[in-house]
């Protein structure tokens, strides 16, 4: 599966991923996402049945309904965080996976620069950041795209996504 990452420390990033999903799905592509979250984020509500199963020691807990399911896999203490390739291997194949975060991955990236900032922070240090996007033009050594130009952003992500065949 091909993957492309949006990186940056701003609220605009997750909204951009959402907008790219809408755009790419509207073009007929099957799209999935992976969002990188802090270990401090608990994916379950404390006290719920599945939370109790996990805390009791279940290695995996699946929640399921007629419309969706989610598999929570507990990592043993001291386990190194799985890389993007390992996470992609767990997913059903699609045309494009958009990564929300994963700035340390070796996948191609676009830096989302928050409103009010006048320069890219990550792009100068990461050769895998191939472009930047922001509300206003920002000078950088990589191409700039307007945050509002979702069609151009989707074109770029689709053209530059890559992954194991």
Q: pLDDT digits over 102-121, tens only?
A: 999 999 999 999 888 888 88
Q: How far apart are the first and last CA of the chain?
A: 6
> Per the domain annotation, does 56 fall within a domain?
no
- Which residue in the block uniquely carries the two structure tokens 């992500």? 157
> Per the domain annotation, does 132 fall within a domain?
yes
> Per the domain annotation, does 68 fall within a domain?
no
Q: What domain count does the chain have?
A: 1
User: What tens digit of pLDDT does each residue of 72-85 get?
Assistant: 888 888 888 889 99
Please state, in angstroms and rounded to a whole number, the distance separating the CA atoms of residues 161 and 158: 5
Please state, in angstroms and rounded to a whole number, the distance separating the CA atoms of residues 132 and 141: 9
Characterize the bridge pairing of strands 109-112 and 3-7.
parallel
Across residues 136-163, what is the average pLDDT? 94
Query: Which range marks the domain in which residue 156 is found?
Result: 3-38+81-160
Stated pTM of the model: 0.89
Helix, strand, or coil here: 142? Answer: coil
CB 39 within 8 A of CB 81: no
Q: What is the pLDDT of residue 58?
A: 93
> Per the domain annotation, does 63 fall within a domain?
no
Tell me the CATH number at 121.
3.40.50.300
Residue 25's φ and ψ, nearest 5 degrees, are -65, -35
> Per the domain annotation, does 28 fall within a domain?
yes
């Amino acid at each position: 599966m091909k993957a492309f990452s949006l990186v940056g420390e701003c609220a605009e990033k997750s909204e951009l991923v959402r907008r790219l999903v809408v755009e790419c799905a509207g073009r007929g592509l099957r799209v999935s996402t992976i969002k990188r979250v802090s270990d401090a984020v608990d994916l379950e509500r404390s006290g719920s049945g599945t939370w109790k199963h996990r805390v009791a020691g279940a290695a995996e807990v699946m929640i399921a309904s007629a419309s969706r399911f989610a598999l929570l896999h507990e990592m043993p203490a001291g386990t190194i965080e799985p890389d993007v390739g390992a996470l992609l291997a767990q997913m059903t194949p699609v045309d494009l996976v958009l990564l929300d975060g994963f700035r340390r991955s070796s996948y191609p990236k676009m830096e989302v620069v928050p409103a009010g900032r006048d320069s890219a922070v990550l792009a100068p240090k990461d050769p895998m950041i191939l472009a930047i996007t922001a509300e206003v033009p920002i000078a950088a050594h990589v191409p700039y795209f307007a945050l509002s130009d979702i069609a151009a952003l989707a074109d770029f992500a689709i053209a530059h996504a890559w992954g194991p065949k």
